[in-house]
Structure 1
Amino acid sequence: MGLIDVFEKEDRTEIKLSQLCEMLSAGAKTELLMNAVNCDVPHQYIREMVTGEKEVSDCVLFSTKNDNQ
């Protein structure tokens, strides 16, 4: 008899409201991350979404247009 056999189909457990909010928040964050990964969102944007901070890019963009004309 394993641990899973102890629980019934519709058992109730006590949970604090703060724990419920944490679990719902983690579930929503996970769903957003999986949607971003499945839709091929670039990794930089996913990291910015998770951390809430804009990343500074190391690449330099050069213009091919001549500004003197």
Structure 2
Amino acid sequence: MAKVYSNMAGTVWKVLVKAGDQVESDQTLIILESMKMEIPILAEQNGTVKEVKVSEGDFVNDGDVLVDIEE
């Protein structure tokens, strides 16, 4: 199982996937907002979303796990 991590501290602005969704490498999964900028968080591989660990409005830190993807 692959984990998708936050690459900065910020607020979860949009969650674009849910458990069970098929995703492709480089697909946007989540959009973070930090310092009034929108930062897309991308899938690093193809697979199925196993679990989304955050909700819109949550604050996340650099290194937090956002999504689990199963190959």
Q: Report TM bin, short chain.
A: under 0.3
User: Greater strand percent: which structure?
Assistant: 2
- What TM-score, normalized by structure 1, do the two folds share? 0.18
Rg (Cα) greater in structure: 1
